[in-house]
């Protein structure tokens, strides 16, 4: 029986399936493993199911040992992996694309709407007993209908997000590494350069993978280029945005608001962020639905079972070990 370690409890059903043919051990704590625990727990395992909170680098790969064949991320993003280090050792890395596109896109819309219509702020006011009755100028927000929706990064999640814009009769503009003509036809979207995206978007949603080239994709300069009425939404990865610059921009009303699911130094927030009324912040829950998290578990387990059975996994992300290009 191969030995599999799971760095945090994930939905039970796929784990039960894995247990039928493998020896499975799971982090018993309701928290991420510390670095020392991770280094200790991977030792001697044939496969490890990891989270985006686990940094998998040379040290961890060496601690696991040469028998370890796969680290399967329970996430679509894989910026927590050192791809080169794993590939050099012949260790397969996988992710969970496809199954969380809809949940993540819907969540990005929830944030966009919540910021535009100031819902959490109004709710705080009401719950605190400060409401003194209907008022014509209370909690005025931004219309969403007929506005310009900007999308940075047109992978599967970005496209799914864009497809929902038709409900609000929005103009859709996007910037991506490459143009996607099928998408332009399907969503009536227009490809623009980054400067135009920043200048023209009323709502800008980030759907880029985190890589050295996309770190601080939005910084002070980019925020200054946006409309003072603009709303920024980030459900990708925190470091896509220079959070300190964003706090300053929100405080000084350089932009109107922001909806954030992810943060630059998770689980910590940049000082000042949580005190701002014009930002909606939630703790990295874009894929957190029963259905989606179960589907992610099934994929991670399937990837592990394939590799341990000597078959190529569906979602290999190492460039030289995969059969299909990786997906976001």
Enumerate binding residues for ligand DGY (CB under 6 A): 52, 75-77, 100, 286-287
User: Smaller CB distance to ligand DGY: residue 75 or 233?
Assistant: 75
Strand partners for 93: 71
- Whether 105 contacts 160, CB under 8 Å: yes
Active site residue 127: no
Token duo for residue 174: 């996007």
d(CA 185, CA 307): 39
Catalytic one among 37, 184, 200, 266? Answer: 266
Question: Which residue, 4, 95, 104, is CA-closest to 52?
Answer: 95
**Exposure pattern of 34-45 as b/e (b: 16+ CB <10 Å)?**
eeeebeebbeeb
User: Smaller CB distance to ligand DGY: residue 14 or 77?
Assistant: 77
Collapsed DSSP state (helix, strand, coil) of residue 204: strand
- Give the side-chain half-sphere CA count within 13 A for 75: 20
User: Smaller CB distance to ligand DGY: residue 112 or 296?
Assistant: 296
CA 257 to each of CA 107, 189, 272, 286: distance values in angstroms, whole numbers, following the listed order: 16, 24, 14, 19
How buried is 242 (Cβ within 10 angstroms: 0-12 exposed, 13-18 middle, 19+ buried)?
buried
Q: How far is the CB of 100 from ligand DGY (least distance, A)?
A: 6
User: Smaller CB distance to ligand DGY: residue 81 or 256?
Assistant: 81
Catalytic one among 107, 237, 293, 322? Answer: 237
- Whether 225 contacts 169, CB under 8 Å: no
d(CA 226, CA 199): 5
User: Smaller CB distance to ligand DGY: residue 76 or 307?
Assistant: 76
Active site residue 45: no
Q: How far is the CB of 77 from ligand DGY (least distance, A)?
A: 3
- Whether 99 contacts 299, CB under 8 Å: yes
User: Smaller CB distance to ligand DGY: residue 176 or 287?
Assistant: 287
Active site residue 8: no
Q: How far is the CB of 296 from ligand DGY (least distance, A)?
A: 7
Kind and range of the H or E element at 245? Answer: helix 243-251
Q: Beta 231-234 vs 203-206: how paired, if at all?
A: parallel
Catalytic residues: 237, 266, 284
């Amino acid at each position: 029986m191969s030995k599999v370690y799971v760095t945090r409890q994930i939905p039970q059903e796929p784990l039960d399936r894995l247990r039928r043919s493998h020896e499975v051990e799971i982090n018993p704590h309701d928290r991420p493993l510390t670095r020392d625990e991770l280094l200790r727990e991977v030792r001697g395992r044939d496969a490890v199911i990891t989270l985006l909170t686990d940094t998998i680098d040379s040290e961890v790969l060496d601690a696991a040992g040469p028998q370890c064949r796969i680290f399967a991320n329970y996430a679509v993003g894989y910026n927590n992996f050192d791809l080169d280090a794993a590939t050099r050792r012949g260790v397969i890395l996988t992710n969970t694309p496809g199954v969380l596109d809809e949940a993540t896109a819907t969540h990005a819309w929830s944030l966009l709407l919540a910021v535009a219509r100031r819902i959490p702020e109004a709710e705080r006011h009401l719950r605190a007993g400060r409401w003194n009755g209907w008022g014509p100028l209370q909690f005025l927000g931004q219309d969403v209908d007929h506005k310009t929706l900007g999308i940075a990064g047109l992978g599967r999640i970005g496209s799914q997000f864009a497809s929902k814009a038709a409900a609000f009769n929005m103009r859709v503009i996007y910037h991506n590494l490459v143009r996607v003509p099928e998408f332009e036809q399907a969503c009536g979207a227009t490809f623009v350069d980054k400067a135009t995206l920043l200048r023209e978007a009323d709502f800008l949603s980030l759907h880029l993978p985190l890589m050295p080239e996309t770190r601080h994709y939005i910084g002070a300069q980019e925020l200054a280029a946006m409309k003072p009425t603009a709303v920024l939404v980030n459900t990708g990865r925190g470091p896509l945005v220079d959070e300190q610059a964003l706090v300053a921009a929100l405080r000084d009303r350089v932009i109107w608001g922001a909806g954030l699911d992810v943060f630059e130094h998770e689980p910590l927030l940049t000082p000042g962020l949580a005190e701002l009324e014009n930002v909606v912040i939630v703790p990295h829950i874009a894929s957190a639905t029963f259905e989606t998290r179960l589907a992610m578990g099934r994929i991670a387990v399937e990837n592990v079972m394939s590799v341990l059975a000597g078959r190529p996994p569906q979602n290999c992300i190492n460039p030289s070990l995969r059969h299909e290009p990786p997906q976001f």
